[in-house]
Structure 1
Amino acid sequence: MADNTKLIDARGLSCPQPVLIAGDEMDALGSGRIEVLTDCGASPENVGRAAKAKGWRLVTSADAGGGVRLVFEKP
């Protein structure tokens, strides 16, 4: 994770909490890089859809210790 990446650890939270938390951080930052960790089955797709609607681009998605690691960027 780059030093300027905002980390959101939403593991243990069920939808829509990861989506709401990630969306609030995306709004607060406006641009940059955000990493979201989640272990809720529907969250990766839902967070990705919300991020796209806010103009954020999915950079990478990978399995991470029983969950998923999503990295988004917005210039």
Structure 2
Amino acid sequence: MATTVDARGFSCPQPVLMTLQAIKATQPGELVVLVDTDTSKENVMRAAQSQGYVVKDVSQEGEGYRIHIQRG
């Protein structure tokens, strides 16, 4: 089961920091990150890729986005 990081309502850099904290706290696997701005979406994807994760899927969810990332 994927770990979910709910970063909706936070402005950058908080969603990136929350994602990086979850990456460090969990075993390599799948994470789902919820964000509500385009900027947060792009920054979270870039940060995850810098940590060796692959963006598996990005889907619009309500007013924001659901980003599925997985260890590459």
Query: Please, which runs of 5 or more residues in structure 1 have no aligned partner?
Result: none
Poorly superposed stretches of 4+, deviation over 2 Å: none
On the 8 A contact 1:15/1:40 being kept in 2, the answer is no
Task: State, as a whole percentage, how many aligned pairs show the same letter.
Answer: 38
Q: Which amino acid aligns with 2:66?
A: R
Question: Does 1:54 pair with 2:60?
Answer: no
Alpha-carbon distance between aligned partners in 1 of 2:50 and 2:40, rounded to the nearest angstrom: 15
TM-score (norm 2): 0.93
Alpha-carbon distance between aligned partners in 1 of 2:51 and 2:63, rounded to the nearest angstrom: 27
Query: Please, which runs of 5 or more residues in structure 2 have no aligned partner?
Result: none
Once the two structures are overlaid, the 10-residue window that deviates more, 54-63 or 25-34, is 25-34
Q: How many residues in Structure 1 have an aligned counterpart in Structure 2?
A: 72
Q: Give 1:14 deviation, angstroms.
A: 0.5
On the 8 A contact 1:48/1:58 being kept in 2, the answer is yes
Q: Give 1:41 deviation, angstroms.
A: 2.8
Q: Give 1:66 deviation, angstroms.
A: 0.5
Partner residue, 1:11: 8
Question: Does 1:37 pair with 2:34?
Answer: yes
RMSD of aligned residue pairs (Cα, Å): 1.1
Deviations 1:26-73 (CA, angstroms, capped at 9, x unpaired): 112141110000002311110011000000010000100100110001
Alpha-carbon distance between aligned partners in 2 of 1:28 and 1:73, rounded to the nearest angstrom: 14
